[in-house]
């Protein structure tokens, strides 16, 4: 499977990938002018050693490319991994790439994330960030209705601005931003992907980006089962 649906209208699609667990092994063994033709138990031990000891450069010789459709609030959290990838210890220059759709150029019908009545969360009791327990259904239903009304008003004003001759790059100012879905391509080394997963699969990560991280894991693990098992420390049984 190369496609995972996320939230109400979002998704992650695996577009392309390069390499395998064997690629990681051979990247490490080139120092000794050696190469494996098929993955053996000895090779798996090498991957475990590399992951355990923090010898991460071989994991940057395999790449994954995804198409992601997510609310802007998720995208902007995600973007920090592109900015930060070149500063990760031992990584050298970043191999990550990000190309995003822009409403300067497209005027397709905008879509928005509208949580259902069971998805609204209260503020946490002992923290200034994050979220707490799910709000009562009646309150959630009211919030969903109010958000939908607000979004519909913004879309009407956006479309009216376009019809009146306003350029697309300014007409978009009328659109509510954080819940609006955007589309982008993310190409990253396996090391970068695993770094993202280790942080955004954690129980205290924002639930919406957790959902996308689970989709990334589901699509990626079959391609690099040994490496991801060793590099991703948040195991499936701990996910909420």
- From the candidates 103, 172, 183, 200, which is the catalytic residue? 200
DSSP letter at 40? -
Helices within the chain (DSSP H only): 21-29, 41-53, 72-84, 137-163, 168-171, 190-200, 207-220, 225-231
Using only C-alpha atoms, the chain has a radius of gyration, in whole angstroms, of: 21
Q: What is the dihedral of CA 176, 205, 210, 60, to 10 degrees?
A: 110
Distance CA 15, CA 65 (A): 5
Cβ neighbours for 112, distance < 8 A, ≥ 6 positions apart: 71, 151, 176, 179, 180, 181
Cβ neighbours of 237 (radius 10 Å): 5
Q: Is 104 part of the annotated catalytic residue set?
A: no
Cβ neighbours of 18 (radius 10 Å): 14
Active site amino acids: 200
């Amino acid at each position: 499977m190369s496609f995972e649906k996320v939230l109400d209208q979002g998704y992650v699609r695996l577009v392309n990938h390069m390499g395998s667990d064997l690629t990681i092994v051979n990247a490490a063994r080139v120092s000794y002018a050696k190469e494996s033709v098929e993955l053996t138990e000895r090779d798996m031990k090498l991957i475990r050693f590399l992951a355990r000891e923090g010898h991460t450069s071989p994991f940057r010789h395999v790449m994954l490319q995804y198409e992601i459709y997510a609310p802007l609030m998720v995208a902007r959290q995600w973007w920090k991994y592109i900015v930060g990838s070149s500063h990760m210890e031992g990584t050298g220059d970043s191999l990550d790439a990000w190309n995003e759709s822009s409403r300067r150029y497209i005027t397709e019908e905008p879509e928005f994330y509208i949580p259902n009545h069971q998805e609204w969360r209260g503020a946490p009791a002992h923290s200034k960030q994050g979220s707490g327990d799910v709000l009562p259904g009646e309150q959630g239903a009211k919030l969903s209705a109010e958000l939908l009304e607000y979004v519909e008003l913004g879309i009407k004003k956006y479309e009216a601005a376009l019809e009146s001759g306003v350029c697309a790059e300014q007409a978009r100012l009328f659109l509510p931003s954080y819940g609006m879905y955007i589309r982008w391509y993310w190409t990253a080394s396996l090391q970068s992907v695993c770094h993202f997963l280790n942080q955004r699969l954690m129980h205290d990560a924002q639930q919406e980006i957790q959902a996308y991280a689970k989709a990334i894991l589901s699509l990626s693990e079959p391609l690099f089962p040994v490496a991801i098992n060793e590099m991703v420390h948040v195991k499936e049984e701990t996910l909420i």
